[in-house]
Chain A
Amino acid sequence: METGPNNSTEDTATWSFITSTSTKSWFLCISLFAVLIRLAVAIHPYSGAATPPMFGDYEAQRHWMEITVNLPVKEWYRNTTANDLRYWGLDYPPLTAYQSYFHGILLKLFDPASVSLFTSRGYESYLGKLLMRWTVLMSDLMIFFPAVLYFLTVYYSRKPNGEKNSMAWHSAMILLNPCLILIDHGHFQYNCISLGLTTAAVAAILSDRDIAGSLLFSLALNHKQTCALYDYYVAMGGRFFNALLFWVATVMSAYYAPAFFGYLLGKCLKRQNPILEILKLGLVVLGTFAVLWWPYLYSVDASLEVLSRLAPFERGLYEDYVANFWCTTSVVLKWKRLFTTQSLKLLCLAATISTCLPSMIQLVRFPSKRGFLHGLLNCSFSFYLFSFQVHEKSILLPLLPASLLAFEEPFMFRWLIYHALLSIFPLLRRDKLVLPYAVLYGLFGLLYYTTGGRKDTTEIYSFYSTLKSSAFACSIFLHMIYMTVTPPEKYPFLFEAVIMLFCFSQFFLVFIYSNSKQWALSKTSIQEDAEKKRL
């Protein structure tokens, strides 16, 4: 391409009409493009299309709308004659239920048959699909997009002007995250809501609005991310815990929560009245939870009933082939045979907490904004890799902080995203989404390497760089094998297992890399402190 002395000026000129104008204008252009891509992905099939009796995630979401629209709030999580919990019973926190209710009302308005009780099971129609798709897009536009804009303005407000050219590129990286688009608009889920709320919470905390941040994060937790804590709770025989204590513990155990907790704690400790500050934030979190859980707070049993739905017992250590520690090591060690479920849960808890700890300690000791983003990545990664009952879709959780860090760590982001894509490839192939997968895979590369983007600082990490290049070659090779070769009859899931092993190795490397980066930050912060003292 163009090589000449004017390279750098010309280079910015290509996109100058987007980057040099106001934030609103380029954000509008990129959002419109992101919406176009989402709309185009949405015309492809969804998970479980035309596959009775259970269908897929699409049917689960539709069924929740059916339940929430037709039944009173108190029965949403209860097994009744009208609500058979074995058929896609509601197992997400209350905010998801409210969101289903809201979307269900919209669906009822335009296509009543799609949410009628009992008769709508397995309902599939042209209009129904469109309306469902549009509810996802609407959530995306109303929550994720504004949150990203908020994050970017906060994130770049303290950076020098020269780096502002990368804002447009950075927003494209976050908004056109191929995994998120494929899972939400292809496979069908509403991750954009919880991830959007988390992004907004991160932005609020980065701009020192800690209270708003805690509130937003509590909302995000109540949409999706409460996880297997109830299992731990039962495993520990914790009958004496009351619901209040449980919520505090919940906050501790969801993917991003340790990072939020650590960073906010570290920040509070540096202030004048640490206890007061902590109390304030704690009250906000408890208050938000109380409001959202209000319909179930009339008795302990009712709230425990909901809690028990959030982490069903019948599920195992892992599902399908997820590239985490337990599933990968089960090739050698049959965890399920060696341990009882109860002890496995404790083991998971111990492993997760211990892998989170380094990152959390760093955050408490040296709270910094960049460290916070790294902490989010590390903690969510340790949950993905070590916690109980992880889905392959959960890779979206570590991906979000990685995309927020894309400006600082473009290399790590790309490394992660290519393998995250590979790790969800078997799932998307089952959904017949190979075409959009391939297109978004390529599109991401095009956007990543576009002009005016972030330059790669790979020469410093030449070891990682060669590692990543060979890994990329492996990944392409695996894609081709998986698409073309039929596995031997004896091992029908051979290739899934290989992909899982490979992805796990890469994820683990990224995990170590990011942790080391986070700890490297504390050195600079020690130096800064020393300089301040000297002054």
Chain B
Amino acid sequence: MKKPPNNRHPIGGGIWWPALIATAVKLLLIPAYRSTDFEVHRHWLALTHSLPLSQWYSDTTSPWTLDYPPFFAYFEKLLSFFASRVDPTMTHLHNGLNYASPSTILFQRISVSFSDVVLIYSVHRLSKDRNFGILGRFLIWVLVIWSPGLFIVDHIHFQYNGFLLGILLLSISYLEEGRDLMGGFVFAVLLCFKHLFAVAAPVYFVYLFRHYCRGGVVRGFGRLVLMGSAVLVVFAAAYGPFLYYGEIQQVFRRMFPFGRGLCHAYWAPNFWVFYILLDKFLAFILMKLGFDIQTPKASFTGGLVGDSSPFAVLPTITPLITFITVILAISPCLVKAWKNPQPKMVSRWVSYAYTCGFLFGWHVHEKASLHFVVPLAITVLKSPEDAKHYFFLSIVSCYSLFPLLFEAQEYPIKVVLLLLHAALMWFGFSSYFSSVDVKGKHNKSESPSFYIGWFGKCYLLGLFVVEISGHLHSTIFGDRLPFLPLLIISIYCGIGMMYSWIWQLRQIYLTS
């Protein structure tokens, strides 16, 4: 029980120190605001618990139908085993609808915190063999485990992103270690948990094809078969049962609801925001010039109604166009991966692919920015420029998540989370790079340590202006233009996201 005296650091050296601190905050946040995703996941617990597997994807008891791939459904089934013992009503298909007893809340919240073990383990794997020094390792842990975005989305808004990102990082860690088969296998598992992660599949395919399946035609083909069968086993385990029951089409129909609009209810800060804005602007100009422009009836967020286009001037965007744009945007990185597949570049490429998916994808959620912000955390310590970019990107990404929490109670919490994150990054990076400079290069003035230029500072200060203007909106405009604050956040963060995309593209292009 008693720690030995004079032990200079009884605890705090291991990853579990930051992990436990984070857990403490997560547990305190249990009674915080929860979005409808809480009910979604509760319903999925009930669904998988009470119905046979063959009906999971065809049930319509609740509007929150199961639209994640089968592994996630199995995961819910596993959770429901414990959930039904905690509170049987929680897993009741009909009585449980919109049920939120204290024990239900406690159980679901703790299940999220507990599933984060995967994230912690994979961060530990990623940081253990690297030559970071203890400070660098600690910084990476802090960036991932104390990521404000994860707190906001998982532990307040309610989702299981930490767990899924943990699987992604696990896969990256295997690839970085050179264990390609394992990496590919884990990625296939991830795809069967959440198919949105498939955006990085081309990168994985090219990388594994060139890095794993090399060494002559025979050996290469043998490895391709091995990898293919590993992936196939995973997919068979996921979809096999549904194939057996003849439900497979229904599963895919649920997983890919293309009836939804180009943008999510709150516009994610991506490329299409600018496209829509340009359309509005052109329509406005042309109307002033006397052209007869029809005001579009369909909205961007809803489904595409009939043939009517939500755009007044510019051509309509279809899912196919977004798909092609994403592939085109990813292609420079694919070329690089084909030419020179390096393990140390994997996390950068994967993050880049998710960045493209976020910027050009169809019906993108703002939460998807976590898919590249979290894996990029591994690369931040490579150079001060990386750190600078990450500092910038993670603040923008976290800020773009602010509209998710719109109630007054969580307002100061999200602000303090972001400020704390920014402060830790600022002091951490400054300290890390100044210490590296002293050790590595003797001439300190020549190699600049971590700093933010005046342009970056202005942009970040602009975030404050955007935030304050959002609060002043109702006093200036009253009830008019209710969408304006969100639109401004989207546009402003969109600029930051576009910058990040170009920066990442340049970085990938420049590194040989």
Which stretch in A228-236, A273-281, A375-383, A457-465 binds the other chain?
A: A457-465
Q: A36-B416, A457-B5, A465-B2 are in contact. Are A1 and B431 (CB under 8 A)?
A: no
B 82-109 to A, binary, CB cutoff 8 A, 1 in contact else 0 = 0000000000000000000000000000
A445-484 interface with B by 8 A CB criterion: 446-447, 449-453, 455-459, 465, 469, 472-473
Give the residues in chain A near B12, CB-CB below 8 Å: 1, 14, 449-453
Contact B427 A456 (CB under 8 A): no
Give the residues in chain B near A312, CB-CB below 8 Å: none
Which stretch in A17-25, A52-60, A253-261, A399-407 binds the other chain?
A: A17-25
B 160-175 to A, binary, CB cutoff 8 A, 1 in contact else 0 = 0000000000000000
A 89-111 to B, binary, CB cutoff 8 A, 1 in contact else 0 = 00000000000000000000000
From the candidates B5, B29, B419, B435, name the one contacting A455 in the complex (CB within 8 A).
B5
Tell me how far the C-beta of B411 lies from the nearest C-beta in chain A, rounded to whole angstroms: 9
Asked if A248 is an interface residue, CB under 8 A from chain B, the answer is: no
Give the residues in chain B near A333, CB-CB below 8 Å: none
Contact B424 A43 (CB under 8 A): no
Give the residues in chain A near B419, CB-CB below 8 Å: 32
Closest to A33 in B: B420
Contact A21 B431 (CB under 8 A): yes
Tell me how far the C-beta of B419 lies from the nearest C-beta in chain A, rounded to whole angstroms: 6
Which stretch in B133-141, B244-252, B323-331, B473-481 binds the other chain?
A: B133-141
CA distance A440 to B20 in the complex (A): 12
Contact A14 B138 (CB under 8 A): yes
Give the residues in chain B near A241, CB-CB below 8 Å: none
Asked if B9 is an interface residue, CB under 8 A from chain A, the answer is: yes
Give the residues in chain A near B431, CB-CB below 8 Å: 16-17, 20-21
Give the residues in chain A near B134, CB-CB below 8 Å: 2, 10, 13-14
Closest to B11 in A: A449
Asked if B496 is an interface residue, CB under 8 A from chain A, the answer is: no
Contact A21 B430 (CB under 8 A): yes
CA distance A231 to B424 in the complex (A): 52
Q: A29-B427, A127-B408, A442-B20 are in contact. Are A449 and B28 (CB under 8 A)?
A: no
Asked if A164 is an interface residue, CB under 8 A from chain B, the answer is: no
Give the residues in chain A near B139, CB-CB below 8 Å: 17
Give the residues in chain A near B138, CB-CB below 8 Å: 14
B 407-446 to A, binary, CB cutoff 8 A, 1 in contact else 0 = 0110011001101100110011011100100000000000
Closest to B138 in A: A14
Q: A13-B134, A36-B416, A458-B5 are in contact. Are A450 and B409 (CB under 8 A)?
A: no
Closest to B24 in A: A443
Asked if A79 is an interface residue, CB under 8 A from chain B, the answer is: no
Asked if A163 is an interface residue, CB under 8 A from chain B, the answer is: no
From the candidates A7, A26, A35, A440, name the one contacting B8 in the complex (CB within 8 A).
A7
Contact B29 A40 (CB under 8 A): yes
Give the residues in chain A near B462, CB-CB below 8 Å: none
Asked if B17 is an interface residue, CB under 8 A from chain A, the answer is: yes
Give the residues in chain B near A143, CB-CB below 8 Å: none
Contact B409 A446 (CB under 8 A): no
Asked if B10 is an interface residue, CB under 8 A from chain A, the answer is: yes
Give the residues in chain A near B511, CB-CB below 8 Å: none
From the candidates B2, B28, B30, B427, name the one contacting A18 in the complex (CB within 8 A).
B427
Contact A439 B27 (CB under 8 A): yes
Contact B29 A17 (CB under 8 A): no
CA distance A436 to B408 in the complex (A): 21
In terms of DSSP, what is the predominant structure of the interface of chain B? helix
B 1-20 to A, binary, CB cutoff 8 A, 1 in contact else 0 = 11101111111111001001
Give the residues in chain A near B135, CB-CB below 8 Å: 13-14, 16-17
Asked if A130 is an interface residue, CB under 8 A from chain B, the answer is: yes
Asked if B32 is an interface residue, CB under 8 A from chain A, the answer is: yes
Contact B1 A36 (CB under 8 A): no
CA distance A130 to B412 in the complex (A): 11
Contact B20 A456 (CB under 8 A): no
Q: A17-B428, A436-B28, A469-B2 are in contact. Are A36 and B8 (CB under 8 A)?
A: no
Contact A455 B8 (CB under 8 A): yes
Contact A39 B21 (CB under 8 A): no
Give the residues in chain A near B424, CB-CB below 8 Å: 29
B5-62 interface with A by 8 A CB criterion: 5-14, 17, 20-21, 24-25, 27-32
From the candidates A29, A43, A450, A457, name the one contacting B31 in the complex (CB within 8 A).
A43
Contact A456 B409 (CB under 8 A): no
Tell me how far the C-beta of B401 lies from the nearest C-beta in chain A, rounded to whole angstroms: 16
A208-266 interface with B by 8 A CB criterion: none
A409-453 interface with B by 8 A CB criterion: 435-436, 438-440, 442-443, 446-447, 449-453
From the candidates B17, B25, B32, B408, name the one contacting A36 in the complex (CB within 8 A).
B25
Give the residues in chain B near A304, CB-CB below 8 Å: none
Tell me how far the C-beta of A503 lies from the nearest C-beta in chain B, rounded to whole angstroms: 19
CA distance A16 to B431 in the complex (A): 8
Give the residues in chain A near B21, CB-CB below 8 Å: 443, 446-447
Contact A25 B427 (CB under 8 A): yes
Contact B416 A39 (CB under 8 A): yes
CA distance A1 to B13 in the complex (A): 6
Contact B9 A435 (CB under 8 A): no
Contact A29 B8 (CB under 8 A): no
Asked if A393 is an interface residue, CB under 8 A from chain B, the answer is: no
Closest to A445 in B: B11
Contact B25 A40 (CB under 8 A): yes
Asked if A512 is an interface residue, CB under 8 A from chain B, the answer is: no
Tell me how far the C-beta of A235 lies from the nearest C-beta in chain B, rounded to whole angstroms: 46
Q: A1-B14, A450-B11 are in contact. Are A32 and B6 (CB under 8 A)?
A: no
The interface of chain A, by Cβ under 8 A from chain B, is 1-2, 7-8, 10-11, 13-14, 16-18, 20-21, 25-26, 28-29, 32-33, 35-37, 39-41, 43-44, 126-127, 130, 134, 137, 435-436, 438-440, 442-443, 446-447, 449-453, 455-459, 465, 469, 472-473
> 4 shortest A-B CB distances, which residue pairs?
A17-B431, A1-B13, A451-B12, A40-B28
Q: List 7 A-B contacts (CB under 8 A).
A: A1-B14, A35-B412, A37-B28, A446-B11, A446-B20, A451-B9, A455-B7
Q: Apart from A36-B416, A447-B21, list 14 A-B contacts with CB within 8 A.
A: A2-B13, A16-B435, A17-B139, A17-B428, A17-B432, A33-B420, A36-B25, A44-B28, A439-B28, A443-B24, A455-B8, A456-B3, A456-B5, A459-B5
